[in-house]
A and B are shown apart, each in its own frame.
Chain A
Amino acid sequence: MSFRALLWALGLLVAALFAASLLIGPAGLSPSDSLAALIAGRGEAAALVMREIRLPRAILGALVGASLGLSGAALQGYLRNPLAEPGLIGVSSSAALGAVIALQTGLAGAFALALPLMALAGALIAVLILLGLAGPRGGALTLILAGIALSALAGALTSLVLNLSPNPYAAAEIVFWMMGSLTDRSFTHVWLALPLTLIGWALILPLVRGLDALTLGEDAAAALGVRLARLRVTLVVGVAACVGAGVAVAGAIGFVGLIVPHLLRPLVGARPGRLLPASALGGAALLLAADIAVRLIVPERDLKLGVLTAIVGAPLFLHLIYKTRAAQ
């Protein structure tokens, strides 16, 4: 399959899952009623359901999924390490800590964009620590160990902040921040996440040529005219922006950035640059599918998205560790 055909196929898959996400829900509207309500605003209650409940949920699923897929592919390309993934190396949980601090200190109440910005700050600190520890070559072991420590610390601090909250419901939401969910998210959240998400994508997507050149090694890439320091800064800020924005509204959803690049890598001829747009589309498709699944499996229980992505992703992660070990 040519690269262009692959992108078309993934695009169609995302569109189909987006439509399915709009049509599935407890209100049990028929597809024709749903579309009439969505497009023409027919039927007061149905229009509310379609435009204010299901549409923002589907949009967020696509946005956050694309961010996670894209960030995973970019981090793996830069570090030349297939285990790098925002959830696993603690970037998402640090972003969640930033978001929780913004919410519980009242910062987000005073200034709405403080929520994604604080999440960005959390993610930024995590990426900087990781790259500082693992170095530009991203030794697999250092990266994963540092990631485990960061995840544990950020998770514990998130729990601490939520336990100290005067709100009795806050402590019960630890699982949301660690597992992620799109239940009952609204356009308020879309508008909160959208600006930083787009900035993040705009920073990462142009890195195609640089990441391709890096496969030849740093010296060769530099000889080809790639400015490595600049590539690194752009990547760090881009990943922090789009992961931070996603986590701020949907919690930390793990493994999307691991599964998607792994599945798509053979289809793009193992070129990290081409993997970027493909993984963005693949991530959107995976998260939309997971969000449809949580609504179909146990609609009453608000199953968290991270539960499904981990059930698929963790065995794959173990498989990758096994392969990495065998290669050494």
Chain B
Amino acid sequence: MSVFGRTSRRMRALAAALAFGLCAAQPATAAPQRVVSVNLCTDQLAMLLADEGQLVSVSFLSGDPRLSAMPARARDYPANRGQAEEVFLMRPDLVLAGTYTAQASVAMLRRLGIEVVEFAPARALSDVPAYLERMGRLLGREEKAGRLIAEFEAGLAALRRAPEDGPRAALYSANGYTTGQGTLSDDILSAAGLRNIAAEVGRAGGGPLPLELLVTAAPDLVITGARYPGASRAEALLDHPALAALMADLPLRPETGGDWVCGTPHVLKAIAALSALGDALEAP
């Protein structure tokens, strides 16, 4: 009996400890105090919305102006490479990841008891307010999110044009990768009043477009990706003489950049820049 009694006493102590633990954790779940983001796009949403001191680290990619719309801001935070060990040592109470973040790292962090929230890549402009709203809720910053959503929607309404007979544009980056219907880039093109040639050649989503098809489609505008240092065959394709001959007749050579990549209010800058290009092309 005495054994039984001791056990039950121990159980009661355990239950009390658990209850205390839960109570203590309650305020923390209301608004996380140490947030680590390991994905380029959650980095930017978090930097836009987080309270002073709430965001502890962002991914190293956010410091790269070819990919990130906020490289200068990102350099104010310690950068991480998204590996479970380094993230764990930052003692986060919330980790923000993308659905394409290395699954092994995400699974390891969850095993270690850290809450990980995943964001899918944005596929449309309509994802932007939804993501702002979700991130605002996660960080306990609903009010700021509401303000940014209103600003974004007003900005988009002011910029948006009908794409029916605008210039024909092609997105063409390393490896001949193009993006068609159902992608954020395609939405950016149409909002700026441009027609994406991916639709003409029957491409939806993202994938390689053979150079032959690009050349025969003869678009009014070829938007290429920003170049990296070092050499790669993937980018050498952008120097192909056939592409050079096609581009020789085109007056404008825009490049995509950080504003294009993520579903954040920064896409408005990409739309505004493209609209200006479209006007320059239409001008006689």
Contacts and interface: CB of A to CB of B under 8 A. Distances in A.
Nearest to B230: A167
SS of A interface (majority) = helix
A115 to B, nearest CB: 10
Interface in A34-56: 44-46, 48-49, 52-54
Contacts, number: 83
A187 B241 contact: yes
Given A52-B245, A184-B240, A168 B228 contact: yes
B218 interface: yes
B214 to A, nearest CB: 9
Interface string B230-254: 1111110101111001100000000
A118 to B, nearest CB: 13
A109 B231 CA distance: 9
Interface in B4-43: none
B242 A49 contact: yes
Given A26-B210, A49-B215, A169-B235, A186 B230 contact: no
Interface string A78-116: 000000000000000000000000011010110000000
Interface string B201-240: 0000001101111011110000000001111111101011
B231 A108 contact: yes
A53 B212 contact: yes
Contacts of A216: none
Nearest to B228: A167
A317 B239 CA distance: 39
A172 interface: yes
B244 to A, nearest CB: 9
A302 interface: yes
Q: How large is the interface on B (under 10, 10 to 19, 20 to 34, 35 or more residues)?
A: 20 to 34
A289 B94 CA distance: 56
A49 to B, nearest CB: 5
SS of B interface (majority) = helix
A167 B231 contact: yes
Contacts of A106: 231
Contacts of A176: 233
B174 interface: yes
Contacts of B212: 25-27, 49, 53-54
Given A48-B245, A52-B242, A188-B241, A104 B215 contact: no
Contacts of A103: 231
B213 A26 contact: yes
27 contacts: A25-B210, A26-B213, A27-B212, A27-B216, A45-B216, A45-B217, A49-B242, A52-B245, A53-B215, A53-B242, A109-B231, A166-B228, A167-B232, A167-B235, A169-B174, A169-B175, A169-B228, A169-B233, A170-B230, A170-B232, A172-B232, A176-B233, A184-B237, A186-B240, A186-B242, A187-B241, A299-B210
Q: Which 3 pairs between the two chains have the least Cβ-Cβ distance? A: A167-B230, A169-B234, A52-B242
